[in-house]
Structure 1
């Protein structure tokens, strides 16, 4: 942050605390931070954690946040704010976006939920401030990276179309044990949704949908085998932006080998019903442990023929590990999710852009070279 802004963070979970600490520690000018949550005690605990964990002097305030109704105290906080960073569950995103619009706050969120994103697009299209949507890790960073690679490939090889654009991300434990070969390194809310909601892809240059978990495959990254499959939400708006330009585009989630087979077995034991998502979510939360040590594996690739007809492929792979920020060590999922959100809101505040900004509309080169992004993801050539 290059000015003394007032930043409101909605939520008091692991991503929210990372956002607050990074803002306090890495901003050129430390903003005043407000942590809002329906559990005021939890919000106060996060505020204290940020203040105690930063090496800089910072003002961090906690307040009670009702995601459905504005009360007088919330109104007072929102009137002071310049921007709202939404770290609440995706189902609440339209409510928070409406509050941001009503109080003329710049807004950025993380959710991969498609229906909720479409609601925000409709409600904020005439907003007096800017709204960057789906700007976490996946959707978020991976989409900006893939779009950047596509644009560079076309420029370098003098073409307008490519055969494939692949986006893959895994939030993984360092080790995996049977039967599930998985561990929750972040909030379990929404994982079952990603596994069961339809996925937006490009096939034969046209945007379409495919069932989640319908294209399982294997790949090797840095000599380590992974399995991959389609999951919902991670492609953001790239299927719209690149229709007609890419023959095949999809987002797939990386897992340790064996995990998707376990999920398939759970789904076979469940009845197809309106409660299928919540039923799978319950099984996963009951049988899969939470694990602190984590890593983020990122892979993006573009493939196509150059102007002379030679088949070319370009790949970028990254591995994010836990990182010390101030006096605390943040997990990889925290830094990799928080920094795109912060980079997006920094850009909005500096440019004063109005209306909806989707991932394909960001200046990919500038975003990937942003001060917050580079500290976690490193340089992209």
Structure 2
């Protein structure tokens, strides 16, 4: 941050840890941070972790954030906040967004959940503060990168529509073994959800809904073969923003070959319900280990014809590995997600936005070259 802010982080998981540490290490003016969680001891643990990890002067306060109701301590802390960073599970996002609105704070969240995002959009349409939604890695950075590719392509080739816009992300382990060819690097319930809920795409320039895991294909990125398939939530608002401009647009998740076939075996007989999500999550957690050695693979491409009818394709790929920040080593999924959250928070503080800000409304060049983004993703 370029000026002092009181920042409230809701949640005490890996992204909350990373966000707090990065705020201390990379802000021009270190903020005052409050960490809230329903289990106070977890919030206190994260606060200590940040204080022990930063090499800069630090102020982090833990507080109890119950699932229901407001304590006097909460009212006092929320009343001081400038920005609320929502690092809690997506099902809680509308509740946390309501707190941000009620206490006149900017709000930034990470969730890919579509229904909850729609609820917050309705809630925040008349807010006096800014609400940046779905601003992690995917949805988030990858959507802004894809929109950047689209805009540059149209400008350079003097066209206003393209044939394809593809964007893909994989949060993967360094190694993968049979039969599942996967290791958890982030939320199991998030993985189960994206494998089951429908996804929004563009086909023939029109927004449509397709089942998750219904368009599997192989792709080679930097010489390595991955499998890609449709998953829910990652397209953010680009199907709405680019309808009529892109013939085929979709977000796909990257996995090692063999993983999706294993998932289909687990899904046999399950229906598209909340119970199916829970059942898939339970099956995966019983058999798939969590793994700290991770990497992020991302890829975006635009394809279309110039004004003379010549077909062109532009591609960007990146591989992000763990990084040491201060005295702690952050996993790839932590740092890539957290810096997008923080860049969005800084955008709100510096631009004084109000109401909902979606991915397509963020200036790509400014965001992608922001001071939190560049040290992790590089310039574009």
TM-score, reference length from structure 1: 0.99
Q: How does 1:84-123 map to 2 (within 5 A)?
A: 84-123=84-123
Q: CA deviation at 1:272?
A: 6.5
- Give the superposition deviation at 1:68: 3.2
Gaps of 5+ in 2: none
Equivalent residues in 2 for 1:295-306 (5 A)? Answer: 295-306=295-306
Aligned to 1:349: 349
**Alpha-carbon separation, structure 2, partners of 1:13 and 1:273:** 26
Once the two structures are superposed, the pairs formed by residues 310-329 of structure 1 within 5 Å of their partners are: 310-329=310-329
**Segment of structure 1 superposing worse, 261-270 or 33-42:** 261-270
Corresponding residue SS for 1:150: helix
Q: Distance in 1 between matches of 2:274 and 2:88?
A: 24
Counterpart residue number, 1:374: 374
3-state SS of 1:160 partner: coil
Q: Counterparts of 1:356 and 1:186 in 2: how far apart (Å)?
A: 27
Mapped contact 2:179–2:262 kept (Cα < 8 A): yes
Contact map agreement 1:68 1:95 (CA 8 A) in 2: no
Q: Point out the more displaced range, 303-312 or 69-78.
A: 69-78
State the match for 2:76 in structure 1: 76
Structure 1 residue 198: Cα displacement: 0.5
Partner of 2:38 in structure 1?
38
SS of the residue corresponding to residue 189 of structure 2 reads coil
1:166 aligns with 2:166: yes
How many residues are matched?
A: 380
Question: Could you give the per-residue CA deviations for residues 254-297 of structure 1, whole angstroms, max 9, x where no partner exists?
Answer: 00000000000111154676511111110011110000000000
In the aligned structure 2, how far is the partner of 1:142 from the partner of 1:57? 33
Gaps of 5+ in 1: none
Q: In structure 2, do the counterparts of structure 1 residues 164 and 271 end up closer, same or farther at CA, with 3 Å as the change threshold? A: closer
Q: Distance in 2 between matches of 1:82 and 1:196?
A: 36
Residues 282-317 of structure 1: CA deviation (Å, up to 9, x unaligned): 001111000000000000000000111000000000
Change (3 A) 1:368 1:274: closer
Residue of structure 1 in register with 2:202 after alignment: 202
Q: Distance in 1 between matches of 2:128 and 2:337?
A: 26
Give the direction of change, closer, same or farther, for the CA distance of 1:273–1:377 in structure 2 (3 Å limit): closer
Q: How does 1:50-65 map to 2 (within 5 A)?
A: 50-65=50-65
